[in-house]
Amino acid sequence: MTIYREDLEPRFKFQVAELPEGENVKECFACGSCTGACPVSQIIPEFDPRKILHMISLGLKKHLLSSDLFWYCTGCSTCKFVCPQDVRFNDVIKALKVLALQDGYVDADTLSEMGKLAVVNERRCVGCLTCVRLCPFSAPSIEEGKGVAYIEPLKCVSCGICVVECPVKAIELKISEDVRRFNSFELLRPAEWGEPNIVAFCCHYTAYACSQDLQNLPKLGFPENVHVEIVHCSGSISINRLLKAFEEGADGVYVAGCLEDTCHNVKGSQIASNRVNYVRNILSQLNLDSSRIEMYMISREPNRGFIDVAKDMTERIKILGPSPLKGK
């Protein structure tokens, strides 16, 4: 990247620091701990927290805010636990997003294409207020004069809760690049399913924070029979999606989300837990053991929880045996 004098905006660092989310950016001394611990960097090498902080310090406002680089941050908070200066890089990213939107470096259409903004199809929306009631961040509102929902880009965090709950399927959220790349990561997609076949739907905040050392997951004991699918938020997993996993041959299914009182999307884990319980009832009605599906809530601090719940579910399903639904 070639840098010219006219590219430098010395005030940029202070603009970031003036926002509540970016107030600690001036404390950074570029030690690189955030990059070393960042699980997203393992999947997307071009995403480098240290480089982004350098660009802020140098005043490269246009270069940074006009790129899609910083949008890869998932807000998993792993950096929070390793930074010696308490910079809270994920909060700095929030400040960059605010500036990018406010200063016109990105618009709603671009965010929608990136999978970072849920969008309402006005032809389908009936103004039922479901999204307004459910959104943890008050992003949707009913447009005066139109009677349809509108989602505020500055408030939407692309959790996907509204997408699943919309009764007329009027809300769309595309798969973001970070989630797409994580789901294509070969260590989380076994070439051949082992026995028992288990499908895990994992909130990307929890999965990222608990699995810093992705390259060594198998060595650390992550079961090879578990097929992992990363989602924006555990609250974005529909009942139909959980049931479909069984239809496609899963012997067991589990959802891994944040602890209920520390959920990144406030009530995503609670919503997911309710849906898992609903599916349990359906399994019971089909004379299937309801323990074939489970909801796990894991601390977002770096820990072995991501591996431990996979091992726990594997042992449980080994005892239960193959699903009676297989081949039907």
Instruction: Identify the structural domains of the chain with CATH numbers, from first to last.
Output: 7-102 (1.10.1060.10), 108-172 (3.30.70.20), 177-320 (3.40.50)
Per-residue model confidence (pLDDT) at position 179? 76
The answer to whether the beta carbons of residues 140 and 149 sit under 8 Å apart is yes
Residues 268-281, mean pLDDT to the nearest whole number: 96
Query: Sign of dihedral through CA atoms 22, 24, 30, 36?
Result: negative
Residues 54-67, mean pLDDT to the nearest whole number: 93
Of residues 209, 207, 281, the one with CA closest to residue 239: 281
3-state secondary structure of 137: coil
Kindly provide the residue ranges of all beta strands, DSSP E only, lying in the chain, ordered along the sequence. Answer: 119-120, 140-142, 149-151, 171-172, 198-203, 226-231, 252-258, 293-298
3-state secondary structure of 61: helix
CA distance 316 to 311: 9
Which helix (H) or strand (E) is 73 found in, with range? none
What percent of the chain stands above pLDDT 70? 91
Kindly provide the residue ranges of all beta strands, DSSP E only, lying in 144-191, ordered along the sequence. Answer: 149-151, 171-172
Of residues 241, 240, 244, 268, the one with CA closest to residue 256: 268
Residues making up the chain, counted from first to last: 328
Range from 24-33, 187-196, 297-306 carrying the lowest mean pLDDT: 187-196
Per-residue model confidence (pLDDT) at position 191? 45
- Residues contacting residue 32 through CB under 8 Å, at least 6 positions apart: 50
Of residues 252, 244, 233, 231, the one with CA closest to residue 310: 252
> For the segment 70-129, what is each residue's pLDDT rounded down to a tens digit?
888 877 777 888 899 988 898 899 999 999 999 999 999 999 998 889 999 999 999 999
> For the segment 223-269, what is each residue's pLDDT rounded down to a tens digit?
888 988 888 899 999 999 999 999 988 999 999 998 988 888 889 99
**Angle, nearest 10°, between helix axes 268-285 and 239-247?**
50
> For the segment 12-27, what is each residue's pLDDT rounded down to a tens digit?
999 999 999 898 898 8
Task: Give the distance, in angstroms, between the CA of residue 119 and the centroid of all CA atoms in the same chain.
Answer: 17
* pLDDT over 80 (residue 289): yes
Q: What DSSP state is assigned to residue 185?
A: -
Residues 265-283, mean pLDDT to the nearest whole number: 95
Per the DSSP assignment, residues forming a β-bridge with 140 are: 151
The answer to whether the beta carbons of residues 56 and 64 sit under 8 Å apart is yes
Tokens of residue 35, six digits: 């990059």
